[in-house]
Chain A
Amino acid sequence: MREGLQEIVMPQLAESLVSATIERWLKQPGDRIDMYEPICEINTDKVNAELPSTVTGKLVKILAGEGETVDVGAPICLVETASAGAPAESAPDSGDAAQPQARQAAASDGDEGAAPMSGRYSPAVQRLAAEHGVNLAEVRGTGLGGRITRKDVLNYIESGRASGKPADSRSADPARQPVRSSGLHLSEEPKLPAIEVEAAAPGSGEYFIDVSPLRHTIATRMRQSVTEIPHAWTMIEADVTNLVALRNKLKDEFMKREGINLTYLAFFLKAVINAIKDYPIMNSVWAVDKIIVKRDINISLAVGTEDGVWTPVIKNADQKNIAGLAREIDDLARKTREGRLSLSDMQGGTFTVNNTGSFGSILSQPIINYPQAALITFESIVKKPVVIGDMIAIRSMVNLCLSLDHRILDGVICGRFLQRVKENLESYSIETTTLY
């Protein structure tokens, strides 16, 4: 390895990202850093990641502080790297470096040779130690050759908390440990807003909630959408009596065979996707001097959680059948609930569908998922008296609400589009519809 000072730069975490924010430094100047060891947590639109070090050495200087937003490619810290022999000489200088201390601890424990594994840390141990700020020199290893095991660290954290040393509450719950995906640490857990009650100011009738990164992103996107896009809104009503009968007939068998729910949403998505195929302009973006029409139909699906709303994407939705869509919906909803969405799950949406009926709404006026051209909602299915010919019948009716970018779309085209969605929905029937 090259000797001297090296910069660690902000990597490009995903194609579309231009910058990221430093959430927290896990290493401080003077700390020893191993290759691939997480040095800080960074924060991008809706995704958090730990940044692994690209070099081995000693952290000399932090160039971008916590909360600072850094462009991709810009340096964030300086690391002093040394040739292979050097760390042994420099180790005694850095008194707080973990490894020498571990060796001292082992030596003071008795014969140094009796604990040959005490300085070798597994990835799990290193990560836990970094997350909880544990000095591994203080942990007693019970594994092979005095190795510190993951359980040793967990026990240490547990006992430390009991003796009044508070561990970092944000990562204290092992059940919520984030998923690791292809080398980068994608911790998708939305941070729970820390609720602080203002201390005993008499008569204070308010309290504050920290704005989480997710909340911040939602706020930014919503504001951008309503300020940039001239919204217009329209609604249509469809008769889904046949669809209700069809789904009731198929859902149990489908559950048995596929192990997932056959939701109305899958049928609705298919109806919308087929209508988009007929009116591709719905699948476009305003680019000031031109309109970009997207060939791929990637449906952003609005999925609500306790903390906010996410819009994971069903890619190439036009190439999926109803069963395939049902599976995708189930998969994305589950990933969202479990906080396991990856950056790629969130990218590339061209048109958004929101199943507002799922929380009982019968009418909504949604804000477009910027920079798409339109967003459609599927409201609650409600039984209503309807006039057919000169008779009154009880039919299952549903409202579909469309918000549109009036720079791209006008009433006529949207009316035709909605009419097509309606036709598609109403043409589902037990005789003709297949799931596969």
Chain B
Amino acid sequence: MAVMHYIDAIRLAMEEEMARDEDVFVLGEDVGYKGGVFTTTKGLLEKFGPERVLDTPLAESVIAGAAIGAAMYGLKPIAEMQYADFIFPATNQIISEAAKIRYRSASDWTCPVVIRAPIGGGVFGGLYHSQSVESVFFGTPGLKIVAPYTAYDAKGLLKAAVRDPDPVLYFEHKKCYRLVSGEVPEDDYIVPIGKANVLREGDDITVIGYSLPLHFAMQAAEDLEAEGISSHILDLRTLQPLDKEAILEAVRRTGKVLIVHEDNKTGGVGAEVAAIIAEELLYELDAPIMRLCGPDVPAMPIHAPGEKHFMLNREKLRDAMRQLALY
């Protein structure tokens, strides 16, 4: 099995799906000749030609709208938003059209579109290249949302998203691209949408999260192991629909839960996870539900101390996890 970076796993998934099914094509800004600003789509144009790798105008509503239309006519588009920050002009297409068409037409029409968007900060991208947009789409029934953390899941979830009969938002963390690597099988497999994954087993505290912060949680868990604190870590992987059973099982394990994400705290995915736990598991709780998230400020600051303050890291995770363990 090959060890590869998160970004290479994403590229491999697209390549395999395009080779497998000629209805699959990619479109987005600079995805063709440039191969994507992060090189996520590098080599696809040469391999599959300009009819299946489309360089589009700088108009996200067109990218999403065209992809949604093509999907409704039976194609399997993978639309790229260059940065998740730029998805907002396409929001109307995604929420009002893609999410609703199956419901609106009593399943006569479906929309098997995938929209990829790099989320998150930590690359000194400032206000408009660092946003986490999950919470904007999270409360919209009709959309599926995935946000992989491992390289294995990055490939398997993207392949599952392409094959899913309904619209899937695929949020890849741009900081993970080359920070995270792991073993990725070079054959065909999928990671089912809607299933969370236990990254680490333990019995003192439970950490639930998705995407980049799990990297820091795993590091912090190593640090705390030396202090005799054992951490149970659950990777949600899919944000919509949430794997409720896995959440409950993970919390039941320790009775103490910390929810982490980079998106800001108010109204984030963690709020819903906390509500599920409060509704179902009150009598299993041994400590108040705790959240560690990005601060409630309008955007990522464009100066180094500000970005450091905003981003989660190993130390912040370790402090929070220790505090919960000692409660």
Contact = CB atoms under 8 A, between A and B. Distances in A.
A436 B165 contact: yes
A258 B252 CA distance: 27
Contact of B286 (A150, A177, A183, A259): A150
B162 to A, nearest CB: 11
A124 interface: yes
Nearest to A121: B286
B284 A123 contact: yes
Interface string A228-263: 000000000000000000000000000011110000
**Chain A contact patch, size range:** 20 to 34
B286 A181 contact: no
Interface in A131-163: 143-144, 147, 149-151
Given A122-B287, A179-B248, A180-B283, A144 B192 contact: no
Contacts of A51: none
Contact of A180 (B190, B280, B286): B280
A180 B192 CA distance: 27
Interface centre among B163, B283, B287, B326 (most CB of A within 10 A): B283
Given A122-B255, A124-B286, A180-B284, A256 B279 contact: no
Interface centre among B107, B286, B287, B327 (most CB of A within 10 A): B286
Contacts of A124: 255, 283-286
A88 to B, nearest CB: 26
Contacts of A125: 286
B204 A123 contact: no
B279 A182 contact: yes
Interface string B241-283: 0000000100010111000000000000000000000011111
Interface string A373-395: 00000000000000000000000
B326 A143 contact: yes
A123 B190 contact: no
Given A257-B163, A259-B195, A180 B327 contact: no
A148 to B, nearest CB: 9
Contacts of B284: 123-124, 127, 177, 180
B231 to A, nearest CB: 14
B58 to A, nearest CB: 35
A436 B286 CA distance: 44
A185 interface: yes
A198 B286 CA distance: 42
B281 A144 contact: no
A117 B256 CA distance: 17
